[in-house]
Amino acid sequence: MAVEHLRSTKVNNFNIGITDDGSVYGVGGFYRDVITTTETSTSINSTYRTHVLASNVIPRLIGVRGNGTTVISAYTLQLFSTATQTAYTVIASQALTASTADTRPFNIGSSGVYQSTAPRALWEIAGLATDPGGNFHVQILFTANSSAAGAIEVYVESLRVA
């Protein structure tokens, strides 16, 4: 098989006009999305998009969790802007083991790359100078081949919509 470029059910539903996300109402929340990988030995450069979040959502954390079988030796966490059609890398070189333990590659509240800064909207985290509008997807880019396929849960806990 070849490199995968998959979108979660929530992302596909949004693209055809079905929304099931409360972030547009201006309150914080916990948003969970799951995507299933199938590739292993040729999965490097595969991308997996989850969530549909307004560009002005202010996350407290973005976490990634395996289902007990998924093993990704290296991945990069990105924010994909629907307005600019660009993926912005926010955390590089993370690993996901076969456990169901959380990895929190981005966590404003307690640890991580942006710990010392004030909470920021997704567009600011992506490094943009102005809000492009639209939505962001959380995207996982495999930077190495996976050794076991399976489900990956991505969750976002937001403080509020700016």
Q: What is the pTM of this model?
A: 0.78
Higher pLDDT: 111 or 122? It is 122
The phi, psi pair for 28, rounded to 5°, reads -75, 170
Q: Tell me the C-alpha to C-alpha distance, in Å, between residue 30 and each of 36, 58, 78, 115, 141.
A: 20, 12, 19, 20, 23
Share of the chain above pLDDT 90, in %: 11
- What is residue 114's predicted lDDT score, i.e. its pLDDT? 47
Helix (H) or strand (E) holding 148: strand 146-148
Alpha-carbon gap, residue 50 to 138, rounded angstroms: 5
Over the stretch 29-85, which tens digit does the pLDDT of each residue have? 778 888 888 777 777 888 888 888 889 888 877 888 777 666 666 788 889 999 999
Question: Contact at 8 Å (CB) between 66 and 100?
Answer: yes
pLDDT band at 161; cut points 50, 70, 90: low
The reported pLDDT for the residue numbered 96 is 64
**Cα–Cα nearest to 79, from 157, 145, 141:** 141
Question: What's the pLDDT band for 130 if we cut at 50, 70, 90?
Answer: very high
Q: How far apart are alpha carbons 71 and 67 in whole angstroms? A: 9
Average pLDDT value for residue range 117-129: 82
| Domain architecture of the chain: domains with CATH | 5-161 (2.60.120)
